[in-house]
Structure 1
Amino acid sequence: MGWIEAAFLVPFVEFAFMRRALLGALMLSLSAAPVGVFLMLRRMSLTGDAMSYAILPGAAAGFLLYGLEIVPMTLGGLVAGIVVALAAGAVSRLTVQKEDASMAAFYLISLAVGVAMVSIRGSSVDLMHVLFGTVLALNDDALILIGLVTATTLITLLVFKRALIAECLDPLFLRSVSKLGSPVHFVFLGLVVINLVAGFQALGTLLSVGLMILPAAAARFWSQRVETMCLLAIVIGALSSISGLLLSYHAALPSGPAVILSAGCAYVASVLVAPRGVLVTRLPRTAHRTA
């Protein structure tokens, strides 16, 4: 038992920064993973990736004005994300361009502007902090922000669950029988933005989407029910957070990438061995054909 305690418990028992990092990562898993499930079901996974870049100029503006302060960078990222989401939606509705193309254009512009803004004042260390985050440096203010986002997300998902599921399955039908179609779409984009802003505090703009998409994508191989996928995504995200932080502690790896790598390993394992993965769905058919 001694080595098990040393490997799994001691890092969280002895170091307060590890406990704060674990709490923040677990709350992000509880909040972002279900949002990732709906993103995936809507075939909008890359939209989440684009939105993670979209918050960068706002966060960079907060950094230029106040330095690495959580509130200005968070508010800036939130405003930038909402502006990009609304702008991309407006372009897709007022022109012939689809939303994915307009989102791609805006996120590329946002990424370039954000990196340029951070580089004006900051060093390469500051740029790495904004892009990749520092989950081990989460303070009480960051944890409060993540907690508020988690509570808001869970309440919103419970209230709009039926409409969200209906829009995933048949958005045209939802709009034909209810006036909730367009409002629910923008409410959902708002959830994506606030979760990316919360994840930005821990994982940076480039990795915050990882804890949203990878657990959801892995859960898709284990179940077809939306509720079950959401629960599995939360569990996978939580286990990835724990294993990633332990890997970071013992192997001296960057904490954010270690968490996302753990989630990536869970995804690869699900692709291979899950009930809807490659080994179960493909190998028996191949063997039958050979026979």
Structure 2
Amino acid sequence: MPMYDLLIAPFSEFEFMRRALAGVVALAFGGAPIGVFLMLRRMSLVGDAMAHAILPGAAVGFLLSGLNLFAMTFGGLIAGFAVAILAGVVSRVTELKEDASLAAFYLVSLALGVTIVSIRGTNIDLLHVLFGNVLAMDDQTLLVIAFNATVTLLVLAVIWRPLVIECVDPLFLRTVSRTGAPAHLAFMALVVVNLVNGFQALGTLLAVGLMVLPAGIARFWSRDITGMMVIAVGAAMLSGYAGLVLSFHSKVPSGPAIILVAAVLYLVSLLLGRAGGVMRQLFPAPHLEA
């Protein structure tokens, strides 16, 4: 059966493919909802900057312990939080805006991280850090990703209301409640955690892709936040599955294959999406006449 061999056999016959699929599903559940809020809060590029900011911490972990999961994860978390805090402090004590200070810090972080990895590692190690290897995930890595995704969903459930209100009317939230600042800090912590999650599978350069692209896809199909969340998670899961299949049957690396599939889904949504897609704007549906 050609369709079975094409779509199912890679996962039924190879354990590393099943583990990779479980990993991208966990990344979808944790990262896609975060991506939706990044998009609604106009912070998508902040997510990209933070993805680069975790590199020096992960590189120091690599320098001390090699490709050790916990050392690189712990280092990435410290570096991500440090850059986020420093960017906020600089924007408050100087006239430099937060986006500009974050851009400066993430460029320094990227260069520093690549330098640290290059000191001890080989070009293969550098490629692993920059682009990840979802097919090489072991059970330990998978459990960490699943745990972080679970924590992300639980924390999102707690801070859901202030996050949604802040997306719609931040001034109103500051007027009626003091939960805005703690919710924002918790949200930024979740961004860093999920970028470190994605780093294990997709590397620092592509980790944000499975957060931002599914959110962009969802925006063209729904205007409701809950609907966007569901569509974003589904799009991330579909991208992960199709990307793994594409990688298995071709010479395309698994991480870039997943992001390329997500990019194709984004372009299709851009053209055909019912909530602001190009075709819907060129040929709007006729209004019902009374």
- TM-score normalised by L of structure 2: 0.96
Range with bigger deviation, 253-262 or 92-101 = 92-101
Q: What residue number does 1:147 align with? A: 146
Q: What residue number does 1:257 align with? A: 256
CA separation in 1, counterparts of 2:87 and 2:155?
Answer: 23
Give SS of 1:222's match.
coil
Using the TM superposition, give the Cα deviation of residue 167 of structure 1 relative to its aligned residue in structure 2, in angstroms: 1.0
Aligned positions, number: 284
Q: What residue number does 2:103 align with? A: 104
Give SS of 2:8's match.
helix
Using the TM superposition, give the Cα deviation of residue 112 of structure 1 relative to its aligned residue in structure 2, in angstroms: 0.7
Q: What residue number does 2:265 align with? A: 266
CA separation in 1, counterparts of 2:168 and 2:97?
Answer: 20
Structure 1 letter corresponding to 2:174: R
Counterparts of residues 159-198 of structure 1 (less than 5 Å): 159-198=158-197
CA separation in 2, counterparts of 1:208 and 1:263?
Answer: 13
Using the TM superposition, give the Cα deviation of residue 172 of structure 1 relative to its aligned residue in structure 2, in angstroms: 2.1
Using the TM superposition, give the Cα deviation of residue 259 of structure 1 relative to its aligned residue in structure 2, in angstroms: 0.3
Q: What residue number does 1:124 align with? A: 123
Using the TM superposition, give the Cα deviation of residue 102 of structure 1 relative to its aligned residue in structure 2, in angstroms: 1.1
CA separation in 2, counterparts of 1:142 and 1:283?
Answer: 48
Using the TM superposition, give the Cα deviation of residue 183 of structure 1 relative to its aligned residue in structure 2, in angstroms: 1.1
Q: What residue number does 2:277 align with? A: 277
CA separation in 2, counterparts of 1:266 and 1:84?
Answer: 32
Q: What residue number does 1:78 align with? A: 77
Structure 2 letter corresponding to 1:80: A
CA separation in 1, counterparts of 2:219 and 2:64?
Answer: 42
1:66 and 2:65 aligned: yes
CA separation in 1, counterparts of 2:50 and 2:172?
Answer: 27
Counterparts of residues 220-235 of structure 1 (less than 5 Å): 220-235=219-234
Give SS of 1:252's match.
coil
CA separation in 2, counterparts of 1:6 and 1:52?
Answer: 36
Q: What residue number does 2:50 align with? A: 51
Give SS of 1:97's match.
coil
- Could you give the per-residue CA deviations for residues 97-124 of structure 1, whole angstroms, max 9, x where no partner exists? 2211111011001001000100101111
- Could you give the per-residue CA deviations for residues 88-147 of structure 1, whole angstroms, max 9, x where no partner exists? 111222222221111101100100100010010111110000000000000111111101
CA separation in 2, counterparts of 1:253 and 1:149?
Answer: 28
CA separation in 2, counterparts of 1:144 and 1:284?
Answer: 47
Structure 2 letter corresponding to 1:282: L
Which runs of at least 4 in structure 1 moved beyond 6 Å after TM superposition? none
CA separation in 1, counterparts of 2:132 and 2:33?
Answer: 22
CA separation in 2, counterparts of 1:168 and 1:94?
Answer: 26
Q: What residue number does 1:289 align with? A: none
Using the TM superposition, give the Cα deviation of residue 284 of structure 1 relative to its aligned residue in structure 2, in angstroms: 4.7
Q: What residue number does 1:242 align with? A: 241
Q: What residue number does 2:5 align with? A: 6
Using the TM superposition, give the Cα deviation of residue 273 of structure 1 relative to its aligned residue in structure 2, in angstroms: 0.4
Quick one: percent identity of the two aligned structures? 56
Unpaired runs of at least 5, structure 1: 286-291
Unpaired runs of at least 5, structure 2: 286-290
CA RMSD of aligned residues (A): 1.0
Indicate how the Cα distance of structure 1 residues 173 and 92 shifts in structure 2: closer, same or farther if over 3 A, else same: farther
Using the TM superposition, give the Cα deviation of residue 251 of structure 1 relative to its aligned residue in structure 2, in angstroms: 1.1
CA separation in 2, counterparts of 1:102 and 1:167?
Answer: 23
Q: What residue number does 2:113 align with? A: 114
CA separation in 2, counterparts of 1:51 and 1:284?
Answer: 38
- Could you give the per-residue CA deviations for residues 218-264 of structure 1, whole angstroms, max 9, x where no partner exists? 10011111111011000000000000000000112100000000000
CA separation in 2, counterparts of 1:215 and 1:85?
Answer: 24
Using the TM superposition, give the Cα deviation of residue 283 of structure 1 relative to its aligned residue in structure 2, in angstroms: 3.8
CA separation in 2, counterparts of 1:98 and 1:152?
Answer: 31
